[in-house]
A and B are shown apart, each in its own frame.
Chain A
Amino acid sequence: MRQTRSVEIGTGLFVLLGMSSLFFLTTQTTGGDDFKAESVYTVEARFENIGSLRTRAPVTISGVTIGRVTEVSFDPVSLEAVVHFVVDSKYDQIPDDTDASILTSGILGSQYIGLQAGGSDMYLEDGSEILFTQSAIVLENLIGKFLVNAGSGDKESD
C-alpha cells in the first residue's frame, strides 16, 4: 500500500512537472501574437520597396504595437507593393495624413511598419489608404550609394 502510494505521488509529480514544462515552453517562450484585438479595421499602404516585410509583422505607432500586417501583394499596374494591415479599433483617432515607413528592429532584426502621426482632423478608417509612405532601407542599395559617392569623392580630390 505504502509502495503504491509513493509510486502514485511520484508519477503525479512527474506528469505535473512535465505538463507545466510543456505549458511554459508553448505559451511563455513563443511570441506568437502579442497583438490581440476584439475588432480591427484594415488600412492599405503602397510602398516602392518593402524589403523583407512579411505578413504578421507588427505595426507600431510611437513604438507601441497597434496592428499587424495581414497581406503583402504587388500591384501590376502601378508597379508598387501593396501592404494591407489591420489596426485595433481602439485606436480609431489616427489622423489620415499619418505617414508609414518600414523600419528594422535592431541591426539584425525583423522589419515592421512604423507610423508617424500626422495633424489632420480626419481619421483613418476601414479601407482607407496611407498616402505618405517611406520604403524599406535596403542595405545593399545603401552600400552601393556609399561606394559610388566614395568613388566620385576620390576622383574630385585627385
Chain B
Amino acid sequence: MTRVLRDIRNNLVEFVRTFGAFQLFFLRLLRHSPAILGTRFGLVIKQVYNTGALSLVIIMVCGLFVGGVLALQAYSNMAVFNAEDWTGVAAHQVLVKELGPVMTAILFAARAGTALTSEIGLMKATDQLSAMEMMAVNPVRRELVPRFLGGVIAMPFLAAIFSAVGLFGAHVVGVELFQVDVGSFWQQIQLIAESEDVNEGIIKSVVFGFAASVIAVWEGYNAMPTAEGVGRATTRTVVITAISILVFDFMITAALI
C-alpha cells in the first residue's frame, strides 16, 4: 500500500518537475530569440521555409476542403430557414475564428512539428548536439532557437492562408454549386464580420504558433537518444500539441467573448 502511494507521489513530483523544466526551457528559447533574430536571421529564414513554405500544400488543400464542407453544411441547414444567403457568414465565422487557427495548428504539428522533433532528436541521437558543445557552440542557440522562431513566424501566415483558401472553397460550393447569389454571399459576410473576428483568429494563431513550436522543439531536445526514443518523441509532439492547442483555444475564446 505504501509503495503504491510512494509511486503516485513520485510520479506527481516527476510530472511537476517536467512541467517546470518545460517552462524554463521556453524562457531560455525566448531569452536567446532577440539575439538570433538580430545576428543569425538567415537560419530563421531557412526554418520559416522548412516549417511554413513546405507546409503550404497540406494547408491549402485542407483549407479548400474544410471551407467547402462548411459551406455544404451551412447551406443545407440554413436552407430550412430560407437563409441561404448566410452560408458565407457561417463559413467565414467558423473559419476565421475557430477552424482556421486550430486546424492549422494541428496540421502544423503533424507536418512541421514532427519534422522538427525527429530532426532534433536524431541530432541528439547521433551526438551532433554534443559535438557542437565540444566546439563551444551553444546547440540551443544554433539549432533550437531558429527552429522555434521559424514556427512562430510561420503559423499566423499559415492560419491566414488556410482561412482565405477556405473562404474560396466556401465560395465555390456556395456560389458555383448551390447558386447562392454571389453579391449577397459576400455582402452578408462584410455586414456581419467585424475586425474583432479576424483579430481573434490572429491572436489564436500567434499563441498556437508559440505553443506548437516550443512543444516540438522541447520533445526533440528531450528525446531518448535511440531510434525508439525519437519515434516516441514524435508521437508525443502530435498528442501534446493537439491537446494543448484545444485547451488554449477554449481559454482564449472564453477570455475574448
Interface residues of A (CB under 8 A from B): 7-8, 10-11, 13-15, 17-22, 24-26, 28-32, 34, 108-110
A interface secondary structure, majority: helix
Residues of B within 8 A of A10 (CB): 49, 53-54
Q: Does B40 contact A (CB under 8 A)?
A: no
Partner of A29, one of B54, B56, B92, B154: B92
Q: Does B58 contact A (CB under 8 A)?
A: no
Q: B194–A32 contact, CB under 8 A?
A: yes
Q: B45–A11 contact, CB under 8 A?
A: yes
Residues of B within 8 A of A29 (CB): 92, 96, 167, 186, 189-190, 193, 198
B: contact size bracket = 20 to 34
Q: Does B163 contact A (CB under 8 A)?
A: yes
Q: A14–B52 contact, CB under 8 A?
A: yes
Partner of A26, one of B158, B186, B198: B198
Q: A18–B189 contact, CB under 8 A?
A: no
Given contacts A29-B198, A30-B190, contact A21 B45 (CB under 8 A): no
Q: Does B192 contact A (CB under 8 A)?
A: yes
Partner of B193, one of A11, A22, A31: A31
Q: A21–B161 contact, CB under 8 A?
A: yes
Residues of B within 8 A of A11 (CB): 45, 48-49, 52-53
Q: Nearest B residue to A110 by beta-carbon distance?
A: B191
Q: Which of A11, A26, A108 has the most C-beta atoms of chain B within 10 angstroms of its own C-beta?
A: A11
Q: B48–A15 contact, CB under 8 A?
A: yes
Q: B195–A14 contact, CB under 8 A?
A: no
Q: Which of A17, A20, A24 has the most C-beta atoms of chain B within 10 angstroms of its own C-beta?
A: A17
Bound complex: CA A108 to CA B85 (Å): 12
Q: A21–B198 contact, CB under 8 A?
A: no
List 10 tightest A-B contacts by C-beta distance, closest first.
Answer: A18-B157, A14-B53, A21-B164, A21-B160, A31-B190, A10-B53, A22-B160, A11-B49, A21-B161, A30-B195
Bound complex: CA A34 to CA B45 (Å): 38
CB B14 to nearest CB in A, in angstroms, measures: 40
Residues of A within 8 A of B243 (CB): none
Residues of A within 8 A of B83 (CB): 108
CB B107 to nearest CB in A, in angstroms, measures: 15
Q: B160–A32 contact, CB under 8 A?
A: no
Given contacts A10-B53, A31-B192, contact A25 B48 (CB under 8 A): no
Bound complex: CA A108 to CA B52 (Å): 41
Q: Does B202 contact A (CB under 8 A)?
A: yes
Bound complex: CA A34 to CA B197 (Å): 17
Residues of A within 8 A of B96 (CB): 25, 29
Knowing that A18-B161, A30-B193, A31-B192 touch, tell me 14 more A-B residue pairs with CB under 8 angstroms.
Answer: A7-B46, A10-B54, A14-B48, A14-B53, A14-B157, A17-B56, A21-B164, A22-B156, A22-B202, A29-B193, A30-B190, A30-B194, A31-B190, A32-B195
Residues of A within 8 A of B189 (CB): 29
Q: A14–B49 contact, CB under 8 A?
A: yes
Bound complex: CA A31 to CA B193 (Å): 6
Q: Nearest B residue to A25 by beta-carbon distance?
A: B198
Q: A25–B160 contact, CB under 8 A?
A: yes
Residues of B within 8 A of A109 (CB): 191
Residues of A within 8 A of B154 (CB): 14
Bound complex: CA A30 to CA B188 (Å): 10
Bound complex: CA A29 to CA B156 (Å): 18
Residues of B within 8 A of A8 (CB): 45
Residues of A within 8 A of B52 (CB): 11, 14-15, 18
CB A16 to nearest CB in B, in angstroms, measures: 9
Residues of B within 8 A of A21 (CB): 157, 160-161, 163-165
